[in-house]
Structure 1
Amino acid sequence: MFYCLLLLCSQLVLSVALPFEQKAFWDFTMDNDMGGQGMMNDEEGSAFEPTKPTERPVGPTCPFGCQCHLRVVQCSDLGLSAVPKNIPSDTLLLDLQNNKITELKENDFAGLHNLYALVLVNNKISKVHSKAFSPMHKLQKLYFSKNMLTEIPKNFPPSLVELRIHDNQIKKVHKGAFSGMGTMNCIEMGGNPLENSGFAPGAFDGLKLSYLRISEAKLTGVPKDLPSSLTELHLDHNQIQAIELEDLIRYKNLNRLGLGYNHIRMIENGSLAYVPNLRELHLDNNRLSLVPAGLPDMKYLQVIYLHSNNITKVGVNAFCPTGFGIKRAYYNGISLFSNPVNYWEVQPATFRCVTDRFAIQFGNYKK
């Protein structure tokens, strides 16, 4: 029995580990990461001496407070007063919205040659250096809304296809504002105090544009010399008084025209003939007393909004042609509610070129 106890005690003594003595920070990683190499070497009788750690390779850094993931750098809602430094050069999307940035300087975006989208919404930017966008050779989307710009910034990248610059303080669009741009899909510039006189002749020269919106401005008429390539034009929530014969002469490619929430009392006969490809026309919330002339000749028109006007009479040929084979697309939406005309006074044949009765929005006029 004594022999057994002695043997057990000797095993316990041998099994007790020596006190740990830290020599360097990397000692904490030795036990698990080195596969037991930090333990005593039975053959040599000496402890493993850790090698000096090698320097880690330097990779892209992320600006302080920002989040960087999959080439997206998100620096929104940080109270920044300037564009942060050390933005990774491979960034594709840079989000700087909801900050307090007041100026874009020449080298703020230096090295960002691959940037695809830049978000600057809701800052206090009033000044942009003429070379601020120069490094961004691949920029396609620029969101500049809700700032304090008083003019269109200069020298946009030729690669840009979408520009949203609404809700600023822009009063003038200077000549050649979009020179060198080539082709763009969309420009949204509503919510600026733009008057008709604010568009300099040649402001859109050379630009091939599909979609343009100038809503909630101070326009009293359709601006002149907009890009003739437009397929959508939205001028709602302005102070336009009338549509004159030459207002739409440049825009034969228009598919959608938005003129709602204006003060339009008259559309001159023949004006709509210049937009033969129109498919959707918004004239709601104006002051029209008659259905515009020329609608029966519009072969492709499918939707027309005329509600909330002063229309008192709707003729039997107000919408549909009298002959056959002229109208190529039937209406699938006609709104006439909130007008001082009784629906029972309108002849059913008035809507003979409408897809079905559910496409007609009519109702009693209540003052």
Structure 2
Amino acid sequence: MEDVIVEYVDKENKECRYEVDDVTISALDLSRRGIATIRLESLKGLDNLRDLQLENNAISDVDLSPLARLPNLMNLSLFKNSLTSIELKHLANVVNLKELHLGSNNLAEIDLGPLSKCKYLTRLRLLGNRLTHLDLSPLASCKALASLEIENNQFRVLDISGLAGCTGLQQLNLMYNSLSHLNLSPLASCTNMKFLYLHHNELESVDLKPLENCLDIRILRLGGNRIRIIDLGSLAACTQLRRLDLAMNEISLLDLSPLAKAKKLTALDIAGNQLSAIDLTPLSKCKEIAELYLYSDHPQENNFKEINITPLFKCKQLEDVSIAKDTVIHAKANLEDSEEIPAALEELIHDRRIKWI
């Protein structure tokens, strides 16, 4: 069988040829070759190709139609190129497509409609573009979708109702956008959700009730928003929760009681809010917690005049706890000579920060 010659033009406008001497290959990596344009029809004959990497090039326009003739293609990456637009209609014929990576381009809009035909799509990455609007409804047909990454864009509003059909969704990343409101109701159907990243937006409130059905959620990040009031009650059902980030918001009251059931919680960050009091009692049930941030010297910070850390003596894995230097720390006197004191509290004892009562 004849070799396949891949033809492209580099960013210096030089005609280039890349020889594929084994036409049975399953992966082709053409990353970092300075490609400006590429004739994908020259891939004809690579019938076993599953993975096509075109990352870190200078591609500003690409015709994807030849990919429909690659029957086994599963992964396509155009990460870190110069795309300002892309037509996905021909991907409707790439029936085995599992992963599509279009992150770090200059896309201001994109029509996901053709992806409704990609029944095996498991991962879609559109991070780091200039998207302000995105119709997610075509993804309702992508029952296998496990990860949707659309962080670092310019969304102010986003309707995620199309995700209600993505019952296998495990990760949704919307961090570093400008969202002021987000209705999480569609996620009630995403019972396999594990990672939800909503930090660094402009959310003023968020209703966590839909997460009652997400029993396996591991990481929930809501830091860097404008949240004033948040009810953690729905998280009582999320017993697999590992990390909860509420830092850098405007929260003035917070009830941690629902976290008593988060037996596997390892990290909690509530620094950078407007809290003046906090009851840490529920955390005594969180035996695996290792990191607790109550203060981190943010421009706006909590103002705890005093705080009782007695419950934390039951958190034997606690390695790091941050409390402002001017906060008076209390703990029961009978704990001072405990046989096994968490490392983070040993440090507070060493620094004579604790006032025994």
Aligned partner of 1:283 in structure 2 is: 246
Aligned partner of 2:4 in structure 1 is: 60
Aligned partner of 1:154 in structure 2 is: 113
Equivalent-residue separation in structure 2 for 1:186 and 1:153 (angstroms): 15
- Which amino acid is the alignment partner of residue 151 of structure 1? I
- Which amino acid is the alignment partner of residue 258 of structure 1? R
Q: Name the SS for the 1:304 alignment partner.
A: strand
Aligned partner of 1:215 in structure 2 is: 175
Q: 1:92-107, aligned counterparts within 5 Å?
A: 92-105=50-63, 107=65
Equivalent-residue separation in structure 1 for 2:108 and 2:253 (angstroms): 41
Asked whether the 8 Å contact 1:291–1:318 carries over to 2, the reply is: no
Equivalent-residue separation in structure 2 for 1:335 and 1:90 (angstroms): 51
Equivalent-residue separation in structure 2 for 1:331 and 1:200 (angstroms): 32
Percent identity over the alignment?
Answer: 19
Q: Name the SS for the 1:257 alignment partner.
A: strand
Aligned partner of 2:279 in structure 1 is: 315
Equivalent-residue separation in structure 2 for 1:83 and 1:126 (angstroms): 18
Asked whether the 8 Å contact 1:272–1:294 carries over to 2, the reply is: no
**Quick one: structure 1 residues 285 and 269, their matched pair in 2 at CA, closer, same or farther if it must change by over 3 Å?**
closer
Equivalent-residue separation in structure 1 for 2:259 and 2:69 (angstroms): 57
1:310-343 CA-partner distances (Å, limit 9, x unpaired): 33223352533xxxxxx37442221112344468
> Structure 1: any 5+ residue segments left out of the alignment?
1-56, 321-326
**CA RMSD, Structure 1 to Structure 2 (Å):** 3.0
**Quick one: structure 1 residues 106 and 365, their matched pair in 2 at CA, closer, same or farther if it must change by over 3 Å?**
same
Equivalent-residue separation in structure 2 for 1:217 and 1:352 (angstroms): 39
Matched, 1:73 2:25: no
1:124-147 CA-partner distances (Å, limit 9, x unpaired): 334444532134333322211022
Asked whether the 8 Å contact 1:177–1:203 carries over to 2, the reply is: no
Structure with bigger gyration radius: 1
**Quick one: structure 1 residues 312 and 159, their matched pair in 2 at CA, closer, same or farther if it must change by over 3 Å?**
same
**Quick one: structure 1 residues 299 and 269, their matched pair in 2 at CA, closer, same or farther if it must change by over 3 Å?**
closer
Runs of 4+ with >6 A deviation: none
Residue 192 of structure 1, aligned match among 138, 146, 153 = 153
Equivalent-residue separation in structure 2 for 1:135 and 1:204 (angstroms): 24
Aligned partner of 1:110 in structure 2 is: 68
Asked whether the 8 Å contact 1:278–1:298 carries over to 2, the reply is: no
Aligned partner of 2:219 in structure 1 is: 256
Q: Name the SS for the 1:360 alignment partner.
A: strand
| Alpha-carbon offset, residue 150 of structure 1 | 0.9
> Which is richer in helix?
2
Equivalent-residue separation in structure 1 for 2:237 and 2:317 (angstroms): 28
Asked whether the 8 Å contact 1:112–1:135 carries over to 2, the reply is: no
- Which amino acid is the alignment partner of residue 311 of structure 2? T
**Quick one: structure 1 residues 215 and 291, their matched pair in 2 at CA, closer, same or farther if it must change by over 3 Å?**
same
- Which amino acid is the alignment partner of residue 273 of structure 2? N
Equivalent-residue separation in structure 2 for 1:124 and 1:295 (angstroms): 46
| Alpha-carbon offset, residue 178 of structure 1 | 0.7
**Quick one: structure 1 residues 203 and 103, their matched pair in 2 at CA, closer, same or farther if it must change by over 3 Å?**
farther
Q: Name the SS for the 1:346 alignment partner.
A: strand
Equivalent-residue separation in structure 2 for 1:62 and 1:214 (angstroms): 36
Aligned partner of 1:333 in structure 2 is: 291
Q: TM-score, with normalisation over the residues of structure 1?
A: 0.71
> Structure 2: any 5+ residue segments left out of the alignment?
8-15, 328-357
Equivalent-residue separation in structure 2 for 1:91 and 1:315 (angstroms): 57
- Which amino acid is the alignment partner of residue 79 of structure 2? V
Equivalent-residue separation in structure 2 for 1:261 and 1:234 (angstroms): 11
Aligned partner of 1:50 in structure 2 is: none
1:232-266 CA-partner distances (Å, limit 9, x unpaired): 11001101112346464453432211111111221
Q: Name the SS for the 1:94 alignment partner.
A: strand
Q: Name the SS for the 1:168 alignment partner.
A: coil
- Which amino acid is the alignment partner of residue 75 of structure 1? L
**Quick one: structure 1 residues 297 and 117, their matched pair in 2 at CA, closer, same or farther if it must change by over 3 Å?**
same
Residue 49 of structure 2, aligned match among 91, 98, 112 = 91
Equivalent-residue separation in structure 2 for 1:311 and 1:277 (angstroms): 26
| Alpha-carbon offset, residue 120 of structure 1 | 0.4
Equivalent-residue separation in structure 1 for 2:19 and 2:226 (angstroms): 48
Asked whether the 8 Å contact 2:78–2:103 carries over to 1, the reply is: yes
Aligned partner of 1:170 in structure 2 is: 131
Aligned partner of 1:18 in structure 2 is: none
